[in-house]
């Protein structure tokens, strides 16, 4: 990979230990993926949750922080593995929390935005069309490429921090024009889609597109940005998806011809039976859940308001916990709007700065988790410790409340 003179100096250590270590990481990755050069980025999004990074992640972030590293661009961070404000009341073990707070401290010393969320594009990190960013959260990468129209690869742990410190990333993959056109198209043959359908549709696309960039035809006119958020998250959980051309939504993809660059591609019709098959595959049990988890990715204030309406006049049955995960920013807004009190009147709880995907659910005593998140269902079920119920939000609420 070609380096300019200033980059060569950093690699030799002339910019300090942290910059040298970061340059060593990005050049090795760049060489491995065949990148020709490094390009500047406008922002970064990194991982600092203990459940995935473990002690090795702590060592890495602390090495960067202790050697004087500082983020060169605005940098946000994925959810932590604990509710940073209320972890004791959620039963998190003190040693587990201590390790997470070590990650928090190292991240803060690097100069990161204290915005612990997987939907940074909704609350604290706002790229523009055609900007290049280096984001580590898979669902956010899909949203960035597909809806905002900026450019990002799915950056791995370690590499994410290195890119943020340098303000640069290797130019490969979705940063190159030739890799962005759609090479397969999915057509929705359904008029009405439920909250679960959007997730199942995304999962079907991710599972069947393979390494191809998909286009999606036929989304209902009433589709919301939150629907697209969950659809993209499910697709990224099911396969190596980093971009979906939503016709009429993705910048520059008003038609299929524009999305594909004029190339004829395979078209796959998505039927009700396909979504039913996804639902069946992600369901592991019919047992009553001991935890209901909403918010993977994080719920917006609008979604929290919808949940409050669905819970109005209802109470959780004994033996069931319901957690709605959201960003700290949405948490604060929901509190001021009276949404939090409306949700908690049912016995459910809001949790900020974390989510179920990266929480120690088994350590907290949960065995059966009900959710309408295909991403959560895929990730938790793959770990094999907890049984998953994958069910529409309305059906879950009717089952676990009276």
For 331-375, the pLDDT digits (tens) are 999 999 999 999 999 999 999 999 999 999 999 999 999 999 999
- pLDDT for 37: 98
Beta-carbon neighbour count of residue 33 at 10 Å? 12
pLDDT at 381: 80
What's the full length of the chain, in residues?
402
- pTM of this prediction? 0.97
Query: Counting beta carbons within 10 angstroms of the beta carbon of residue 395, is it exposed (0 to 12), middle (13 to 18) or buried (19 or more)?
Result: middle
CB half-sphere exposure, 326, CA atoms < 13 A: 25
Give the chain's mean pLDDT: 97
**Best CA proximity match to 144, nearest among 249, 279, 269, 242:** 242
Across 292-310, average pLDDT: 98
* pLDDT greater than 80 at residue 57: yes
Quick: pLDDT tens for 134-158: 999 999 999 999 999 999 999 999 9
Look at residues 266, 274, 264, 199 and name the one whose alpha carbon lies nearest to residue 237: 199
User: pLDDT-derived band of residue 385, with 50, 70 and 90 as boundaries?
Assistant: confident
Hey, how many other C-beta atoms are within 10 angstroms of the C-beta on 132?
19
What per-residue confidence (pLDDT) applies to 13? 97
Q: Residue 253 is inside which H or E element, if any?
A: none
Name all domains of the chain by residue range, CATH numbers in brackets: 5-177 (3.30.499.10), 181-280 (no CATH), 283-400 (3.30.499.10)
pLDDT for residue 191: 82
As beta bridge partners, residue 76 has 45
Q: What is the pLDDT of residue 130?
A: 97
CA 233, CA 206: separation in Å to the nearest integer? Answer: 9
Nearest to residue 316, comparing CAs of 296, 287, 344, 340?
344
Poorest-confidence range of 84-93, 257-266, 279-288, 374-383? 374-383
Give the other-Cβ count within 10 Å of 384's Cβ. 8
Q: Which of 47, 46, 30 is CA-nearest to residue 38?
A: 30
């Amino acid at each position: 990979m070609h380096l300019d003179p200033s980059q060569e100096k950093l690699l030799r250590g002339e910019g300090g230990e942290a910059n040298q270590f970061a340059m060593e990481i990005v050049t090795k990755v760049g060489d491995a993926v065949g990148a020709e050069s490094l390009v500047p980025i406008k922002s970064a999004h990194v991982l600092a949750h203990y459940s995935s990074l473990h002690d090795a992640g702590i060592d890495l972030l602390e090495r960067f922080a202790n050697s004087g590293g500082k983020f060169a661009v605005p940098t946000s961070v994925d959810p932590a593995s604990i509710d940073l404000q209320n972890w004791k009341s959620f039963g998190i073990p003190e040693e587990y929390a201590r390790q997470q707070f070590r990650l928090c401290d190292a991240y803060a010393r690097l100069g990161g935005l204290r915005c612990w969320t997987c939907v940074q594009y909704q609350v604290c990190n706002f790229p523009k069309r055609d900007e290049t960013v280096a984001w580590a959260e898979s669902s956010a990468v899909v949203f960035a490429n597909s809806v905002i129209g900026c450019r990002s690869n799915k950056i791995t742990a370690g590499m994410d921090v290195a890119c943020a410190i340098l303000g640069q990333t290797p130019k490969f993959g979705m940063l190159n024009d030739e890799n962005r056109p759609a090479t397969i198209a999915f057509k929705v043959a359904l008029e009405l889609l439920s909250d679960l359908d959007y997730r199942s549709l995304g999962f079907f696309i991710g599972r069947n597109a393979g390494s191809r960039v998909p286009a999606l035809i036929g989304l209902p006119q009433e589709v919301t940005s939150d629907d697209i958020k969950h659809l993209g998250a499910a697709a990224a959980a099911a396969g190596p998806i980093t971009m979906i051309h939503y016709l009429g939504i993705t910048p520059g993809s008003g038609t299929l011809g524009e999305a594909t660059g004029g190339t004829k591609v395979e078209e796959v019709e998505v039927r009700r039976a396909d979504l039913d098959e996804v639902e069946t595959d992600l369901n592991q049990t019919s047992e009553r859940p001991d935890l209901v988890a909403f918010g993977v990715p994080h719920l917006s204030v609008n979604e929290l308001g919808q949940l409050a309406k669905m819970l109005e006049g209802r109470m959780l049955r004994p033996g069931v916990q319901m957690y709605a995960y959201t960003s700290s920013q949405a948490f604060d807004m929901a509190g001021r709007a009276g949404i939090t009190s409306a949700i908690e009147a049912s016995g459910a709880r809001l949790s900020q700065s974390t989510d179920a995907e990266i929480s120690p659910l088994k350590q907290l005593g949960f065995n059966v988790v009900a959710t309408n998140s295909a991403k959560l269902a895929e990730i938790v079920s793959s770990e094999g410790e907890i049984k998953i119920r994958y069910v529409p939000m309305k059906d879950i609420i009717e089952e676990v409340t009276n």
